[in-house]
């Protein structure tokens, strides 16, 4: 009888933890699925709004990521203060409603406006969903649970190309937004039933000035990079814009050191694994977005493939991510995250190198393209989930939520830079030779980003969660 009394609450807590992870991971999947599908839908959006310029169209992607990244940490602290469940449910509602508005947008100006609002909902979802997972699982199971939560983003990468290509080809780019609606409704309904509230009323909400400064710095720098297509990298106007962006970033750092309510907890960077993990996230985020957008544009603009064909063309890599990522999380629990991050960066860089050497206007998918997708897919599977896990493991329990939000924010800023570099390096090529030269520069971004990920992962000090001779705890495989 005593055993039954003890076991029942444990079984109930395990079930609740699993359901919490399911709902939270679905929200994460929807958020990142939206981004990967938009990469596929980008050519179709450009063909719809033919009067819009390159810069204006790039903000369909970059406006979202800038606002998303700038608000991740503040939204996480608001969730700590007001309640993770409450902010999660509100964020789900905002993300779902604005997804519908994006799909209905009659012009690129309104589309960009609704994308900014959609980013607000996404920023509310990610840190609150991670905090809910943290509260639901015991400490010893957190690295594995966080890896599974982070793997939802990898699964989004696997679903995004094929699902997005099929939807866009059959129904148009507007349905890239409409498919968020059923997921959003489910997370709201299920979240109300299974999520337990948690909060920290002592948390300070960040000042608006810090949020505005970091968003402004990212926007100015992104604009400066994109406009190099028009002015050139060494043009005085480009240099002025980039200098203003860097100055704004410097003001932001000074402001954060002196305010009592920082938007970014700079003191966390004093923790070695947190510092190096975020640098790896910045490098990998830049290379990841350059690879994804560059892949779709290469297949459609150089090889002349349809969006549907391009979506299936890039699908093997992300599909490999969905297969490997969960297993990589279990492996990291035995050997630590550093070996996987070091190897993952090398795999990713080799995928970019393969493209740089072999890709041309001659269409040979199996020999010239497929191997590079498989190499980058292995790199993503080894890196993305482990970046979340290594940061979570480096922090005390009370700082894991905000630390995870910082990592996501920095990775998103890297994604913004990757999109800006892709748009700038490709530009509006006047010939096939110019287009191929532009794509070679994009592949170099992948190489450099992968190698940088490996280099900044070397100083990490990670440890196994479960020793090879020790049995895994019950329910850990979930």
- Quote the pLDDT of residue 228: 66
Please state, in angstroms and rounded to a whole number, the distance separating the CA atoms of residues 280 and 457.
6
Residue 333 counted as domain residue: yes
Residue 212 counted as domain residue: yes
- Encoding tokens for residue 198? 């948690």
- Quote the pLDDT of residue 458: 93
CA pseudo-torsion sign 86, 88, 93, 97: positive
Q: Say if residue 150 is in the same domain as residue 37.
A: yes
Q: What whole-number percentage of the chain has pLDDT above 70? A: 90
Q: Say if residue 78 is in the same domain as residue 215.
A: no
- Quote the pLDDT of residue 9: 43
Q: Say if residue 402 is in the same domain as residue 439.
A: yes
Residue 462 counted as domain residue: no
- Quote the pLDDT of residue 169: 87
Q: For residues 111-128, give the mean pLDDT.
A: 91
- Encoding tokens for residue 144? 């594995």
DSSP at 224: H
- Quote the pLDDT of residue 126: 84
Query: In terms of Cα–Cα distance, which of 301, 349, 322 is closest to 454?
Result: 349
Residue 325 counted as domain residue: yes
- Quote the pLDDT of residue 89: 94
Query: In terms of Cα–Cα distance, which of 425, 424, 411, 426 is closest to 65?
Result: 411
- Place 7 in a pLDDT band, splitting at 50, 70 and 90: very low
Q: Say if residue 128 is in the same domain as residue 184.
A: yes
Q: Say if residue 106 is in the same domain as residue 72.
A: yes
- Exposure b/e, 143-164, CB count within 10 A at least 16 = b: bbbbbbbbbbbbbbbbbbbbbb
Given 262, 281, 306, which residue is the final one in a domain? 262
409 exposure class (CB count in 10 Å sphere: 0-12, 13-18, 19+): buried
Q: Say if residue 202 is in the same domain as residue 300.
A: yes
Q: Say if residue 293 is in the same domain as residue 217.
A: no
Q: For residues 448-464, give the mean pLDDT.
A: 89
Decide which of 403 and 317 is more confident.
317
- Quote the pLDDT of residue 232: 66
- Quote the pLDDT of residue 474: 33
Question: Tell me: the pLDDT tens digits for 335-360?
Answer: 888 899 999 999 999 999 999 999 99
- Quote the pLDDT of residue 154: 64
Q: Say if residue 297 is in the same domain as residue 374.
A: yes
Decide which of 445 and 55 is more confident.
445
Q: Which of 194-208, 286-300, 462-476 has the highest mean pLDDT?
A: 286-300
Given 262, 277, 306, which residue is the final one in a domain? 262
Decide which of 447 and 151 is more confident.
447
Residues 6 or more apart whose CB falls under 8 angstroms from that of 254 comprise none
Q: Say if residue 229 is in the same domain as residue 350.
A: no
Domain count, the chain: 2
Q: Say if residue 365 is in the same domain as residue 216.
A: no
Mean of the per-residue pLDDT values of the chain: 83
- Quote the pLDDT of residue 229: 60
- Place 245 in a pLDDT band, splitting at 50, 70 and 90: confident
Q: For residues 184-208, give the mean pLDDT.
A: 84
Residue 425 counted as domain residue: yes
- Place 398 in a pLDDT band, splitting at 50, 70 and 90: low
List the domain range (segments joined by +) for residue 239.
207-262
Q: Report in angstroms the alpha-carbon separations of 345 from 37, 256, 320, 377.
A: 24, 31, 16, 11
- Quote the pLDDT of residue 100: 95
Residue 57 counted as domain residue: yes
DSSP at 303: S
Q: Is a pLDDT exceeding 90 seen at residue 375?
A: yes
- Quote the pLDDT of residue 216: 85
- Place 478 in a pLDDT band, splitting at 50, 70 and 90: very low
- Place 417 in a pLDDT band, splitting at 50, 70 and 90: confident
User: What are the two backbone dihedrals, phi and then psi, of residue 319, each rounded to the nearest 5 degrees?
Assistant: -65, -40
Residue 478 counted as domain residue: no
Question: Tell me: the pLDDT tens digits for 19-28?
Answer: 888 888 888 8
Q: For residues 192-207, give the mean pLDDT.
A: 81
- Quote the pLDDT of residue 379: 93
Residue 127: give its domain's CATH number: 1.20.1250.20
- Exposure b/e, 107-122, CB count within 10 A at least 16 = b: ebeebbbbbbbbbbbb
Q: For residues 383-403, give the mean pLDDT.
A: 76
Residue 476 counted as domain residue: no
Q: For residues 420-443, give the mean pLDDT.
A: 87
Q: Say if residue 110 is in the same domain as residue 217.
A: no
- Place 389 in a pLDDT band, splitting at 50, 70 and 90: confident
Q: Is a pLDDT exceeding 80 seen at residue 393?
A: no
Query: In terms of Cα–Cα distance, which of 291, 269, 250, 301 is closest to 375?
Result: 291
Q: For residues 90-100, give the mean pLDDT.
A: 95
Lowest mean pLDDT segment, chosen from 197-201, 422-426, 431-435: 197-201
Q: Say if residue 142 is in the same domain as residue 81.
A: yes
- Quote the pLDDT of residue 476: 32
- Place 400 in a pLDDT band, splitting at 50, 70 and 90: low
Question: Tell me: the pLDDT tens digits for 84-93?
Answer: 899 999 999 9
User: Where on the phi/psi map is residue 262: left (φ > 0), alpha (ψ -120 to 50), or beta?
Assistant: beta
Q: For residues 433-440, give the mean pLDDT.
A: 91
């Amino acid at each position: 009888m005593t055993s039954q009394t003890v076991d029942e609450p444990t079984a109930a807590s395990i079930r609740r933890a699993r359901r919490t992870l399911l709902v939270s991971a679905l929200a994460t999947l929807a958020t990142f699925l939206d981004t990967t599908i938009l990469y596929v839908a980008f050519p179709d959006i450009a063909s719809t709004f033919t009067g819009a310029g390159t810069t204006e169209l790039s903000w369909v992607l970059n406006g979202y990521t800038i606002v998303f990244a700038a608000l991740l940490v503040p939204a996480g602290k608001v969730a700590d203060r007001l309640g993770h469940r409450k902010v999660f449910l509100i964020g789900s509602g905002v993300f779902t409603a604005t997804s519908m508005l994006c799909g209905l947008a009659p012009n690129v100006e309104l589309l960009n406006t609704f994308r900014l609002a959609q980013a607000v909902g996404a920023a509310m979802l990610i840190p609150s969903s991670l905090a809910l997972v943290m509260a639901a699982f015991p400490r010893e199971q957190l690295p594995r649970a966080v890896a599974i939560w982070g793997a939802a983003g990898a699964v989004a990468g696997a679903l995004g190309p094929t699902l997005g290509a099929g939807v866009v080809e059959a129904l148009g780019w507007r349905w890239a937004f409409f498919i968020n609606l059923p997921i959003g409704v489910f997370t709201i309904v299920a979240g109300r039933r299974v999520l337990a509230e948690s909060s920290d009323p002592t948390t300070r909400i960040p000042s608006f000035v810090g949020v505005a400064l970091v968003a402004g710095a990212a926007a100015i720098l992104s604009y400066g990079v994109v406009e190099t297509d028009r002015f050139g990298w060494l043009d005085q106007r480009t240099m002025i814009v980039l200098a203003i962006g860097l100055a704004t970033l410097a003001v932001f750092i000074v402001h954060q050191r002196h305010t009592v309510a920082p938007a970014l907890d700079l003191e966390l960077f004093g923790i070695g694994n947190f510092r190096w993990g975020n640098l790896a996230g910045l490098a990998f985020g830049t290379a990841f977005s350059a690879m994804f957008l560059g892949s779709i544009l290469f297949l459609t603009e150089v090889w002349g493939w349809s969006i549907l064909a391009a979506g299936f063309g890039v699908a093997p890599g992300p599909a490999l991510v969905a297969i490997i990522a969960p297993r990589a999380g279990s492996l990291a629990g035995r050997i630590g995250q550093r070996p996987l991050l070091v190897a993952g960066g090398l795999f990713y860089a080799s995928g970019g190198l393969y493209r740089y050497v072999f890709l041309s206007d001659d269409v040979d998918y199996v020999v010239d393209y497929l191997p590079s997708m498989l190499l980058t897919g292995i790199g993503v599977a080894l890196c993305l989930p482990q970046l979340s896990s290594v940061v979570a493991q480096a922090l005390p329990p009370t700082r894991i939520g905000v630390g995870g939000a910082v990592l996501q924010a920095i990775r998103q800023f890297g994604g913004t830079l990757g999109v800006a570099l892709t748009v700038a390096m490709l530009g509006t090529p006047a010939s096939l030779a110019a287009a191929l030269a532009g794509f070679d520069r994009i592949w170099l971004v992948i190489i450099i980003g992968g190698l940088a990920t490996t280099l900044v992962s070397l100083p990490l000090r990670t440890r196994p969660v479960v020793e090879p001779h020790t049995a895994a705890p019950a329910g850990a495989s979930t």
